[in-house]
A = this chain, B = another copy of it.
Amino acid sequence: MNKTGLLIVISGPSGTGKGTICKALVHRKDYFVSISATTRNPRVGEVDGESYYFLTKEDFIDRINKDDFLEHAEVYGNYYGTPKSKVLETIESGKDVILEIDIQGALKVKENYPNGVFIFILPPSMEELKNRITKRGTETEESLMTRFKCAYKEINYISKYNYAVVNDTVEEAVNKIESIVLAEKCRVDRIKTTTILDSKEGLIHEQLYD
Q: Which residues of A are at the interface with B, using a C-beta cutoff of 8 A? A: 119-120, 122, 124-126, 152, 155-156, 158-159, 161-166, 175-176, 178-180, 182-184, 186-189, 191, 194, 196-197, 202-204, 208-210
A159-B196, A196-B156 as given contacts; A164 in contact with B186, CB under 8 Å? yes
Q: A166 to B126, Cβ gap below 8 A?
A: no
Contacts of A119 in B (CB 8 A): 186
Given A159-B188, A176-B182, 11 more pairs with CB closer than 8 A:
A126-B203, A155-B204, A159-B194, A162-B187, A164-B188, A164-B191, A164-B208, A165-B186, A180-B182, A180-B183, A182-B183
Contacts of A124 in B (CB 8 A): 209
Q: B187 to A163, Cβ gap below 8 A?
A: yes
Residue among B125, B161, B188, B208 making CB contact with A188, cutoff 8 Å: B161
Q: B204 to A166, Cβ gap below 8 A?
A: no
A159 CB to nearest B CB, Å: 6
Q: How far is the CA of A145 from the CA of B158 in the complex (A)?
A: 51
A125 to chain B: closest residue by CB: B209
Q: B209 to A186, Cβ gap below 8 A?
A: no
Contacts of A188 in B (CB 8 A): 120, 158-159, 161-164
Q: How far is the CA of A124 from the CA of B209 in the complex (A)?
A: 8
A194 to chain B: closest residue by CB: B159
Contacts of A204 in B (CB 8 A): 122, 125-126, 155
A84 CB to nearest B CB, Å: 26
Contacts of A152 in B (CB 8 A): 197, 202
**5 closest Cβ contacts across the A-B interface?**
A183-B183, A179-B179, A179-B182, A180-B183, A163-B186
Contacts of A155 in B (CB 8 A): 196-197, 204
Contacts of A202 in B (CB 8 A): 152
A164 to chain B: closest residue by CB: B188
